[in-house]
Amino acid sequence: METMHDDETRKSYGEHLEEIKNDIIRLAAMVGEQIGAGTQALLDADLGLVEEVIESSPKQAELNHSIEQQTYELFARQQPMAIDLRTLLTVLRSLHELELAGNLMVSIAKAARRLYPRELPPKVRGILEQMGAQASVQMHLAIDAFADRDNALALSLPDMDDVSDDLQKELFRAIFTACSPDESGLQQAVQIALVGRFYERVADHAVQIGRWVNFMVTGELPGYERPQAADGAA
């Protein structure tokens, strides 16, 4: 029979778990702001905004570390079971994906600094703007899926990722057309190609968060395929 002390402990555990989930949502919002600011810095060649994106990284790292420590403490002290265990594992994996996405946006901001003061070719600029918007949308939807335990939304993310893949292919074609073949043009082309790859990876991290949300809800591990029954098996 559950005692009053057990009930109070469980309540405290539930409150701590909710705080961790809220912190994940807050961290994701910071990454979302980075995506928006980093994209704007790139499109406008805004060096001030570039520095803001870079300087936001330590604050994210501090929150990331805090969430990680709180999560490990719950593992150690409360011995979570079933759905709570899956939630905490999803928190840790989502932390990793958010950290990598934030690092990529810092890389995009630094690329914007290297591209300065050259203007982006109009076609290239338009594609990069779309890539930034797509990455932002996917990250927001991934965290909405996490916050609401919305498995249908989580499972829709891989299909959305096709848009990012198509945009990257379009970007490569635009680079070959728009950038000059001299050394300066080649350096610009390389930086733009890297930026396109970084945006694609940010979108991929959003998809991966969605896969972990699916695990949180269903218990199905990302990348795991159930073995097929042998022919003739009942």
- pLDDT per 10-residue tile (average), the chain, 234 residues: 49 87 97 97 97 97 97 88 91 98 98 95 97 98 98 96 95 94 92 97 98 96 60 42
CA dihedral sign of residues 169, 174, 177, 181: negative
Residue 183 in tokens: 């050394």
pLDDT for position 13: 82
pLDDT at 39: 98
pTM of the model: 0.90
Q: Which two tokens stand for residue 67?
A: 């969430």
Comparing CA positions, the residue from 71, 60, 101, 92 lying closest to residue 207 is 101
Rounded distance, CA 87 to CA 84, Å? 5
Which is the CATH superfamily of the domain at 12-218?
A: Phosphate transport system protein phou homolog 2; domain 2 (1.20.58.220)
